[in-house]
Structure 1
Amino acid sequence: MARRSASFPLGILGRYKIILLLIFAVALFHIGFVYLFKTPSHLKARRPEDVTSFSDVRVPVGYNESSLPVRAAFATVVRNSDLHELRAAIRQLEDRFNNRYHYPYVFLSDEPFTDEFKEAVAWTAKSKVSFGLIPRDHWELPSWIDRQKMRDGMAYLTSKEVIHSESINYRQMTRYYSGFFYKHPLLANYEYYWRIEHDTEYTCDIPYDPFLYMKERGIHYGYTISLHEFEDTVKSLWGVVQDYLKTRPTALQPQNTMDWVTNNGGQSYNLCHFWTNFEVVNLGLLRSPQYEDFFQHVDKAGGIFYERWGDAPIRSIAMTMFLRKEQVHWFEDIGYSHSAFQNCPSDPEVQMRCHCNPSSSIHRNDFSCTRQWNQLPASY
């Protein structure tokens, strides 16, 4: 009997093999195309349109935040491009102080942090690190800001060669520091915060805990550097402060320190302010109804965008209205350098743990206001 031909079923199987191979080839081509042309994750910086709040918290194995002496954290507003300067500042803080305490860090930005940024910072910090996205309504220009008036103000400051004269981002940042950062959920459980910046240097060992030092003594505000502000950037700020005090005569602390910011009984602003790129603050004060009321009054005046009012003069004026002298502390023994200015201790014993030149410390210069602060009478 003749054998049945097997050519027919084998032909069908061959066709299936060809189809499967074609599908596999198309899939490989698609995957390759996507990976070839997609933007690498470490370069992505665009914020998703539907995102208003985002956080990523990384906790080292065995880390116990509840064991810290104070519910406190380092915090900053920073961007992906600041990574390597930020790592240098963190490394110094760790070496000079935090390797003995392990206080956590909170990093906030108006753009999503890249994986590269988060991994590098987490590796450097050695303690709990949190990364948060700033809510849009806390960052973007308010709808009530007159854009043309803002542009005119920018042009004026540019003619005066004032730094950050045309930067909208700088104004957004100072507004955020003035009245919003402490409202971020990542800071909700903290009592004190220490502001850090990416382009700073810590030049002395810190053998004690500044957070605990402040808490035990009832200190609400700590600083290292004070300066005079550029007058062109705050021309109308004092008038807004005067309006605030006229409508709220009971807002002032009876033993206030406003003589530090005015030399003539409140008629004008002498431009003194604490340099807020270093500040250690009791967050309860910033969250208080009195500070919120003051910020809202100042914010609605629009000078942050029209003139470039900084968070430093705004915060400093508020501190002098609401705090007694003993509630503010000059950390004379913390070596700190930022931009062209530094605070460098002159005490010989403290100098043994520093690498800065005390003769170059800004408090020795007339541009500083620390001497005037020290001359204020005690309130008790």
Structure 2
Amino acid sequence: MKDEKSVKAAIVYLARSKSGDIANLKRSLSLLDVNFNDKFKYPVIIFHEDINENLMKKIREATRSKVQFEKVIFEIPDFLNKEEIPELVYVDGDCFSMGYRHMCRFFSGIIFHHPALEDYDYYWRLDTDSFLLDNINYDVFQFMQERDLEYGYIDIFKDEPASKGLWDTTKKYIEDNNIKPEFLHKFTSNGVWDRSYYYTNFEIAKLDFWRSDEFMNYFEYLDRSGGIYKYRWGDHVIHLLAISIFVPENKVHRFSDIAYQHQGFINNYSMDPDNFRRLRNLKGIIMNHFVKASTSLKRKSGLYRKFIKLIKRES
């Protein structure tokens, strides 16, 4: 059981009031309870723009965790020329709304300075469609603290040809400030970033780094360039670049042991018939995400075809 001497940490979500998002969030919280938080009892903070009291009540009824709601207001920052910001950004056939780009900016750097997190040393970010699939029998925050880790992630992928200008902007920042990156070379080829990114719908991190001058100076440099809004620079790519530039590699950990599912990606979970039956109540949600998931993630998961066969067999 978590006691007063435990790590000061919180689990965070950003949620919309759309019915599908709320349904996913309730299921995510339920699985968080069963597989982690019933034992460790960390507070859950749900950031939102427009969740009303009635929805808050329903969400609280879906979980045994202590839930705190925090309203956020998203706006294009005043230092950017709003006339230069497109309402929609199209990248490689995908369309990214203003709301999506607000979210990218929020998770890239803004969230770490929100008053709701000021008393915490660590955070665990999950998306509303993040599902823990099996029991986690240890305290992930204690794990981070005892090993003096700065950042924990679930996996690394490569972005589609997107994030226009991000590498050039980052490279200039490194050169202008005479920075010697920690392990950025692992994600570059012939001096060019290979578009690797952390799958940030699951990340556990020490807040000290995100609040540090070295990160904030870099983030503000990117932020003021306008690339987040003009070109869809996401938190996933910004975080990988920042971590690999400033954080020693031995302070970064992959949580490869945690059974986790997000859209077309499943980590460390054997989708055999027994496990599949355990998740039958999730079938509709998981199947919906597999259908919508990008082809690259389906290939990465290595489980897509097997999962589809099991879906059909159990239907």
TM class by smaller structure: 0.7 to 0.9
Measure, in 1, the Cα distance between the counterparts of 2:5 and 2:42: 7
2:160 maps to 230
Distance 1:337 1:361, change over 3 A: farther
- Quote the offset at 1:222 in angstroms: 0.6
Structure whose CA Rg is larger: 1
Quote the offset at 1:127 in angstroms: 3.1
Which residues of structure 1 form unaligned runs of 5+?
1-63, 366-380
Contact residue 97 and residue 205 of structure 1 kept, 8 A:
yes
Q: Matches of residues 7-156 of structure 1 in structure 2 within 5 Å?
A: 67=4, 69-81=6-18, 82-111=21-50, 113-134=51-72, 136=73, 139-151=74-86, 154=89, 156=90
Q: 1:149 offset after TM fit, Å? A: 4.0
Residue 212 of structure 1 pairs with residue 142 of structure 2: yes
Alpha-carbon distance in structure 2 between the residues aligned to 1:309 and 1:245: 18
Matches within 5 A, 1:1-380: 67=4, 69-81=6-18, 82-111=21-50, 113-134=51-72, 136=73, 139-151=74-86, 154=89, 156-157=90-91, 160-162=92-94, 164-165=95-96, 167-231=97-161, 233-250=162-179, 252=180, 256-264=182-190, 267-344=191-268, 362=300
**Cα 1:343–1:68 shift into 2, 3 Å:** farther
Instruction: Indicate the residue corresponding to 1:53 in structure 2.
Output: none
Specify which structure has the higher proportion of strand.
2
Change (3 A) 1:209 1:362: farther
> Which deviates more, 124-133 or 204-213?
124-133
**Contact 1:224–1:279, Cα closer than 8 Å, also in 2:** yes
Q: Distance in 2 between matches of 1:106 and 1:152?
A: 29
**Structure 1 counterpart of 2:93, one-letter code:** E
Unmatched 5+ stretches in structure 2: 280-285, 287-297, 304-315
Distance between the aligned counterparts of 1:268 and 1:308, measured in 2? 19
Residue 120 of structure 1: how far off its partner (Å): 2.1
Q: Distance in 1 between matches of 2:45 and 2:2?
A: 13
Query: 1: distance between equivalents of 2:22 and 2:2?
Result: 25
Structure 1 letter corresponding to 2:12:
A
How big is each residue's C-alpha offset from its partner over 1:177-197, in whole Å with a ceiling of 9 and x where there is no partner? Answer: 111111111111011100111
Displacement after TM superposition at 1:268 (Å)? 1.2
Task: Name the CA distance, whole Å, in 2 between partners of 1:339 and 1:110.
Answer: 23
- Between the aligned residues of both structures, percent identity stands at 28
In 2 relative to 1, CA 183–283 (structure 1 residues): closer, same or farther, beyond 3 Å? Answer: same
Structure 1 position 241, deviation (Å): 0.4
How far 1:148 moved relative to its partner? 5.0
- What do residues 4-54 of structure 1 show as CA deviations (whole Å, max 9, x unaligned)? xxxxxxxxxxxxxxxxxxxxxxxxxxxxxxxxxxxxxxxxxxxxxxxxxxx
CA distance in 2, matches of 1:229, 1:203: 25
Shift of 1:340: 1.3
Q: Distance in 1 between matches of 2:26 and 2:98?
A: 26
Q: Does the Cα contact within 8 Å between 1:344 and 1:361 map onto a contact in 2?
A: no
How far off is 1:230 after superposition? 1.5
Q: Structure 1 residue 211: deviation in Å?
A: 0.7
Kindly indicate whether the alpha-carbon contact (under 8 Å) linking 2:133 and 2:269 is maintained by their aligned counterparts in 1. no
Q: Which amino acid aligns with 1:191?
A: D
C-alpha RMSD of matched pairs (Å): 2.6
Deviations 1:264-285 (A, max 9, x none): 2xx2110001111100010111
Query: Partners in 1 of 2:263 and 2:61 — Cα distance?
Result: 26
Once the two structures are TM-superposed, the CA of residue 292 in structure 1 deviates from its matched residue by 0.5
- 1:123-155 Cα offsets, whole Å, 9 max, x none, are 333232211122x4xx2012343445433972x
CA shift digits 1:50-73 (9 cap, x unpaired): xxxxxxxxxxxxxx9862621111
Change (3 A) 1:153 1:83: closer
Query: SS of the residue aligned with 1:75?
Result: strand
Structure 1 segments of 4 or more deviating over 6 A?
none
1:173 maps to a residue whose letter is M
- Give the secondary-structure state (helix, strand or coil) at the position aligned to 2:209: helix
